[in-house]
Chain A
Amino acid sequence: MPILDAFPDNLEDDVIVFRVIRYSWFEEETDELKDIAFIRRPNDTAGLSVNNTQSNASESLHNPNAVVSLLVESVRALDLDIIPTNTTHANITGLPSDAEINASRESKRIAQRLAGQLRKSATLVWRKPRV
Chain B
Amino acid sequence: MIPAYTTDSNITYTLPGQYVVGSFPCAQTETLPLISRIEDGRKIDRNIGKSTADVALENLANVRERVLQLKDEAPKDDFIYAPTKKALERFERLVTFGYALSSGEVVRPLISPDGQGGLVLEWRKLPKEVKLIIPAKFENKPYLYYENGDIYDVIENIKSDVLAQKLTWLAR
Contacts and interface: CB of A to CB of B under 8 A. Distances in A.
B113 interface: yes
Given A105-B156, A108-B143, A113-B147, A35 B77 contact: no
Given A105-B154, A109-B145, A109-B152, A116 B129 contact: yes
Contacts of A27: 110
Contacts of A42: 116
Contact of B110 (A34, A39, A108, A109): A34
Which interface class (under 10, 10 to 19, 20 to 34, 35 or more) fits B?
A: 20 to 34
B122 A34 contact: yes
B78 interface: yes
Interface in B103-129: 110, 112-116, 120, 122, 124, 129
Contact of B113 (A24, A35, A43): A24
Interface in A53-104: 61-63, 102
Interface in B128-172: 129, 131, 133, 135, 140, 143, 145, 147, 152-154, 156
A25 B152 contact: no
A32 interface: yes
Contacts of B42: none
Contacts, number: 55
Contacts of B114: 36, 39, 41
A22 interface: yes
Contacts of A41: 114-116
B140 A102 contact: yes
A102 B116 CA distance: 13
B58 to A, nearest CB: 17
A31 B118 CA distance: 23
B78 A43 contact: yes
B81 interface: yes
A22 B77 CA distance: 9
Nearest to B78: A43
Interface of A: 22, 24-25, 27, 32, 34-36, 39, 41-43, 61-63, 102, 105, 108-109, 112-113, 116
* 9 cross-chain pairs, A with B, having the tightest CB-CB distances, nearest first: A112-B145, A109-B154, A36-B112, A108-B154, A34-B112, A34-B110, A61-B77, A36-B120, A41-B115
